[in-house]
Amino acid sequence: MAKVQLRSNFEYGTSRWAVRRAQWRALGLTNEDMLKPKIAVVNTSSELSSCFSHLDEVSRVVKRSILEAGGYPFEIRTAAPSDFITSAGRRGGYILPTRDLIVNDIEVAVEGAQLDGMLFLGSCDKTSPGQLMAAARLDLPSIMVICGYQKSGSWRGRHMDIEEVFLHAGHVAAGKVTPAELEEMSDNAVLGPGVCAGMGTANSMHIVCEALGMTLPGSAPVAAMSERMFANARASGRRIVEMVGEDLRPRSILTPAAFANASACVLAVSGSINCIKHLQAIACEAESPTDVYAIFESLSARIPVLAAVRPNGEDLIEDFDAAGGTQALLQQLRPLLQDAPTVSGPSMLAQLDPAVVRNPEVIRPLERPFSAQPAIVIIKGNLAAEGAIVKMGLTHDKVTRFRGPARIYHSREDALAGLARGEIRRGNVVVMRCMGVRGGPGMSMASALVFALDGAGMGEDVAVITDGQLSGLVNRGLVVGEITPETLAGGPLWAARDGDIIAIDVPGRSITLDVDEAEIARRLAGEPAPRPGAATGWLSIYQRTVQPLARGASLIPIREELP
């Protein structure tokens, strides 16, 4: 039994107590069940994507564990966005906004019913950050269960996964890959349930969950449907009941130190750039003053790349898992970490005492990294006053400086058509604008052009800049994403014209439009940026309420702005 007064136990004889009792008795709850800690098991099960297809089985295991530990589980469902499925409509505009839909869905179910704790089944890209945001907002005892990566396959004797399919799809137009070959790749890329097998946003965010202290140690990464995944699920079911009794809440765990540790891990694995805005959104929901973008700026020169999981290097996520996973990574980073509370009870550094690096060639020590160069770089300038992101990865000979004439497009479709027409030439800086969180709406994905340029043999000879979103997995050449302020928020990207010279200097942390500042101001004061097509439904609500990337593209305005 819990040691604290449970908010779910209403006063005997009241109307709330009576009608709730009537409903729950009809569901089979006993008088004893009515008094137990009531735990929301947040499940994103869906038959639309393999990312979520196994979660009902995980949920059954978790619920049984909660019951055995003296709690009572209530399974609730939320939206289940998959980047490779849900991106088909509205130019991919539903992907990022669904993260915030998940947050609000959880709030309605859990806060409306006044449940006592939450256990989240973490899976694809936007579900884990959305769940962590809900934990931060509601500040109820919460724990993440990492539900694992999928098994990938092979094609013509080489490894094949969904990331490779994604990349090679951009090579079809150039004739480097035939549609029949792409079909064969697709047939062999995914051999089971779980998230993408590379170091994309899903696996990066699973590592973040553990580095934040929001999972039990040893949770990430893990093979979907493995015995270890189920063992973690059972242990988490027991632990959440204890956490309710201890009144251990997320805001005591999501400290500035925890955000710094998580940021260090993202840099050390050359993880997805999407983690930055997700971490910032979690901090905003927790009402924390943490500036995650500033943390990345500060840490990028100090944190070397210690793991090279595909597509960054040749190691598989299975290799990273076998080498000790997040616990081993944290152990290698230990001299640079800060201590912080965790859901397991012991602090982060105490929790690391038994951690073992089982393969120091896969998860390397600080003094022998894969690369000492920053994996992710924040750059600024008169085109990005609030910053933009460049993922450098591990390519030591990658272009880091670029200067050339701009070629302007207002969508990825326009840019792809321009490439097909031969408008984009070597030496150009392709500008894709009006694609940010408001312009999309929902932050349109720009990576299709990046892959098409790679397929056309111009990946290293053309730079790409955008206020849209880039793949958390793979980018080729010099690509600058998430330029802020975005075009539709008055950002200076609207001042660029075809032929203007744009200079990108990653070592110098700058991105500059080579135009007189007075002329830039004149252009911005002239014809306004084109408004996007009328958004309807959820995207309309999102477009009118979404905050800038500096606040994680969350829907939470600065408190002082509230009426």
Domain CATH code at residue 488: 3.50.30.80
Q: Which residues participate in catalysis according to the annotation?
A: 471
Q: Residue 135 domain-assigned?
A: yes
**Residues 415 and 302 grouped into a single domain:** no
**Residues 330 and 385 grouped into a single domain:** no
Q: Over pLDDT 90: what percentage of the chain? A: 86
Residues 213-235 pLDDT 10s: 999 999 999 999 999 999 999 99
Residues 409-451 pLDDT 10s: 999 899 999 999 999 999 999 999 999 999 989 988 888 899 8
Q: Residue 499 domain-assigned?
A: yes
Contact between residue 86 and residue 62 where contact means Cβ atoms under 8 Å apart: no
**Residues 297 and 410 grouped into a single domain:** no
**Residues 345 and 385 grouped into a single domain:** no
**Residues 385 and 311 grouped into a single domain:** no
Q: Residue 27 domain-assigned?
A: no
Task: Report the distance separating Cα 185 and Cα 297, nearest Å.
Answer: 38
CA distances from 205 to 1, 143, 280 (A): 33, 14, 13
Task: Report the distance separating Cα 47 and Cα 350, nearest Å.
Answer: 40
**Residues 386 and 483 grouped into a single domain:** yes
Q: How many domains does the chain have?
A: 2
Average pLDDT over residues 244-251: 98
**Residues 286 and 382 grouped into a single domain:** no
Q: Nearest 5°: phi and psi at 442? A: 105, 10
Q: Residue 560 domain-assigned?
A: no
CATH number at residue 85: 3.40.50.2300
Q: Residue 173 domain-assigned?
A: no
The range of the structural domain enclosing residue 509 comes to 376-532
- Looking at per-residue pLDDT, the higher value among 383 and 396 belongs to 383
**Residues 393 and 322 grouped into a single domain:** no
Contact between residue 468 and residue 481 where contact means Cβ atoms under 8 Å apart: yes
Residue 510 pLDDT > 90: yes
**Residues 387 and 494 grouped into a single domain:** yes
Residue 563 pLDDT > 70: no
Q: Residue 177 domain-assigned?
A: no
pTM comes to 0.96
Residues 52-79 pLDDT 10s: 999 999 999 999 999 999 999 999 999 9
Pairing state between β 384-391 and 401-409: unpaired
CA distances from 511 to 113, 139, 480, 481 (A): 49, 39, 9, 11
CB atoms within 10 A of CB 135: 32
Q: What is the mean pLDDT of the chain?
A: 94
Of 36-45, 177-186, 248-257, 435-444, the least confident: 435-444
**Residues 327 and 250 grouped into a single domain:** yes
What is the band of 562 on the pLDDT scale with cuts at 50, 70, 90? very low
DSSP letter (8 states) at residue 445 = B
**Residues 207 and 280 grouped into a single domain:** yes
What is the band of 396 on the pLDDT scale with cuts at 50, 70, 90? low
What is the band of 494 on the pLDDT scale with cuts at 50, 70, 90? very high
Q: Residue 8 domain-assigned?
A: no
Residues 116-168 pLDDT 10s: 999 999 999 899 999 999 999 999 999 999 999 999 999 999 999 998 898 89
Residue 453 pLDDT > 90: yes
**Residues 419 and 476 grouped into a single domain:** yes
